[in-house]
Structures are given as structure tokens and as C-alpha cells.
Amino acid sequence: MSLPVRQQVKYWGIAAAVFLAVLWGLGDVILPFLVGGAVAYFLDPVADRLERMGLSRAVATATISIIALVLFILLALLIVPMLVRQLGQLVNAAPAIFGKLLGFLTTSFPSLMDQESVLRETLASIGRTIQAKGGELATGLLSSALSVINAVVFIVVVPVVAFYLLLDWDHMVARIDALLPLDHRETMRLLARDIDGVLAGFVRGQVSVCLILGTFYSVALMLAGLDFGLIVGAIAGLITFVPYVGALIGGALAIGLALFQFWGDWLQIAAIAGIFAVGQFLEGNIITPKLVGGSVGLHPVWLLFALSAFGTLFGFTGMLVAVPVAAAIGVLIRFAIAQYLGSRLYQGLSKSDEA
């Protein structure tokens, strides 16, 4: 006989409170372990596929770790310094960009851009503000990230944690499954599969989409000759998880910079716009259907709320756990709604008796 609902709610409430207390008190300490666990979860399907090809789990894990190490070194030595440099250049170029826009508007719409025009003053102040605050913001982001993450510990601990978790992933899942309460085992397995499906659709699927599109936009814009192509592509790829927003913001930023850089060369500007059109086509027709498919994902508004709430309450660590917690809450809410729709409270006495 299972425990009464009131006692179950009490015990699960205590477990949730303990989880939040640990997250609050040990956020910075457990951060490398959370990142390592996320990396292991992301790469587990790759290890499973290598096992099906005939490799042992240890060899598959070692192979993945070596490839990941090479990619990390390339990222640290080539991509990140270039991103930082282009971000600084973009901030410094902001006054000139807005000055050119101001000159174009003054020539084309003189009635709107007189000396006392609100629009003129607004554009000029935006350029000055970006230059004054942009560098401070970039520096603040880097310094805050470094203050949250002890670089040496992070770089050493995360790969080790990810390696061992990836090596023992299937064994750990089996052990956790064996500890599930017997009365609710099947229900909890069903909920766990649903949560895993949501996370697989977002973490493994949508993050892969963001990485692929960010790489495509960055490489294509740099090949097209756009000065800040890498940083624009990175921004567009980073926010691709919100449908259409990544392409709209990235496209608007890229076309605006192209107008500043290639003014008069309309073919070059059209090529920049075409890159985002091709990216949208690839995302909607090939990449997202292939990697995400029809799995139930996380609604962008719910995801943004979870990231904002957990980031505010628990800092950078909270933002990392926001996605799995949001996925779990979403699955539990859908399960509760399904239970309610089948209950006497919703159907009434007559419908319940007929059922």
C-alpha cells in the first residue's frame, strides 16, 4: 500500500527544498560537476553509438575525450581570442557606424534630422553610450565569469568529471532505476523518459542546432568579407533556440554592418542577407527536423523565464540547472493536467461512473 498523498507531497517537498538549499549554498563548488554532468549527458548517445559499432565503453569514452580535448584547445587558442577582439572592435566602431547612419538620415530626411531633432540626438547618444558602456560591459562579463569560475579548477575538474560520468553513465542510470519506489516505479520511469525526451530535444538537439548555425553564419559572413562576421554569427547562433529571433537579430545586425562597410555595393549587401535566408531554410527544413524532430521541447517563453529566475536566484549555476528543472516541471505539469482530465473533479460524477 502506497503512502498517502499528503505524506508524499511532504517528502517530495523536503527533497526539493534540500535541492534548492544545496544549489544556494554550494553553487560555485558544484558548478564544475554540473558542467561535467551536462557534457556527459550530451555525449552519451555518441558513446552508445560507438559501442554499437564494436568499441568497448572505455575505448569509446577515451576516443570522445581525445576529440573533445583537441576541439577545446582549438577553441581556446583560435576562436575565443578572435571573438573577444571583434567584440572590442565592434564597440569602438559604434560611434562611427551611428555617425554614418546619422549622415544618411540627414541627407535623405532633412525634416526629421534638424539640429534639434529628437531622433538625431537619440542616435548620437546611442553611439556614445555603446562606446562608453560597451567596453565596460564586455570587461564586466569576462571578469564576472572568471570570478564565478576558478579557471584552473574548472579546466581540470570538468573534463575529469565528464570522463568518469560518461564511462559509468549506463551503470549509474541502472542504479538509480533500482532505487525508485516500488509503488510508483512505472510512473516515475514514464516521467523520466518524458523528461529525457524533452532534454534530448533541447539540450542535444537544439544546442546542436545553435552550434551548427552559429558556425555556418560565422564562417559564411567571414568568407563574405564582413568585418565583424564571427561575433555576429556567434550572436545569431546563440539565440537560435528562440524561433526566428536569432535569424532576425543576427540578420538585422549583419545587414546594418554591411550597409556601413559596403555602402553602394548592393550585390555584396544582398549576399550578406542571402546568408541568413539560406540559414533559415537549412534550419527549418533540414537541421531542426533532423536533430530535434517532433519531440516535445521547451517553449521559448518558459525557457527564458526559467533562465531569468534561476539566474537571478542562484547566479551562473542556476542558469545551468534552469533547463533540466524547466523540462522536469513542464513534464510534471503535463502529467498533472492529464491526471486532472481523467479525474472525477473534471469529469463529474456521471462521466466518472460511465468510465
pLDDT of residue 26: 77
The predicted pLDDT at position 315 comes to 77
Q: What is the 3-state secondary structure (H, E, C) of the chain?
A: CCCCHHHHHHHHHHHHHHHHHHHHHCHHHHHHHHHHHHHHHHHHHHHHHHHHCCCCHHHHHHHHHHHHHHHHHHHHHHHHHHHHHHHHHHHHHHHHHHHHHHHHHHHHCCCCCCCCCHHHHHHHHHHHHHHHHHHHHHHHHHHHHHHHCCHHHHHHHHHHHHHHHHHCHHHHHHHHHHCCCHHHHHHHHHHHHHHHHHHHHHHHHHHHHHHHHHHHHHHHHHHCCCCCHHHHHHHHHHCCCCCCHHHHHHHHHHHHHHHHHCCCCHHHHHHHHHHHHHHHHHHHHHHHHHHCCCCCCCCHHHHHHHHHHHHHHHHHHHHHHHHHHHHHHHHHHHHHHHHHHCCHHHHHHHHHHHC
Q: Is the pTM of this model over 0.75?
A: no
Chunk the chain into consecutive blocks of 10 residues (it has 355) and report each block's average pLDDT, rounded to whole numbers.
Answer: 69 82 77 85 89 90 89 76 72 68 64 57 63 55 50 73 90 88 85 85 78 89 85 83 76 83 82 88 81 64 82 79 84 86 75 54
- Determine the pLDDT at residue 108: 63
Residue 61 has a pLDDT of 92
